[in-house]
Amino acid sequence: MSKKFDSNRLQQLKTDAFENIESYNDPDTPKALANFTSQIKKVLEADPEMLQSVPEYLPVALYGRVKFSPEAKLKWAQWLKTNQQPHWDQFKTSVAFNNDDLPLVKTVRAYSESLLIEACAVLYLLSFESSTPLSRGHGDEDGYEEDEDQHDERDQVADDYEGRDDEDEDGYDDQYDEITFKGEGR
């Protein structure tokens, strides 16, 4: 009997991994994510039991470094649709790991094949699922999502400003009020 994916767990891992990736994905420090993943790989390779408390670290450590062939994408889509976790023989031909990551992959596999397969499922979701934050825009067209408090703050500032005359402003100087430009009538 084949194992089933826990779809709720996969979605939570995807969210947690995405948040970690985004927190280190900073244009001001372009190597932050690479440095973090490098450190995490070393820690996980030395102590794979750490994945019991922070399982999202494995997809973060392997993010952008696992390849899925077009045929494999179809298999992963089917496995995830039916929540069927692939057997090891199916799995090992459905992903391509970077050579630098093989020591970590072997260590995690020895600790738990299931966690390794689950991490790759999360990587697939992060990369190819249409409702994944990394594959769709955030918020509005400008990529800026305004929360309710920001919206209320902006409205309050606008309400405070409405109806105010410049003369009400502290330090207002009315010496320029009578200036007109050529062609401008008063």
Q: Where are the domains of the chain?
A: 7-135
Q: Does residue 166 register a pLDDT over 50?
A: no
Enter the tokens of residue 167.
Answer: 């003369």
Q: Could you give the CA distance from residue 85 to residue 115 in angstroms, rounded to a whole number?
A: 11
Enter the tokens of residue 28.
Answer: 């001001």
Enter the tokens of residue 134.
Answer: 């990394």
Per-residue model confidence as pLDDT tens digits over 86-139: 999 999 999 999 999 999 999 999 999 999 999 999 999 999 985 544 443 333
Q: How far apart are the first and last CA of the chain?
A: 88
Give the global pTM.
0.69
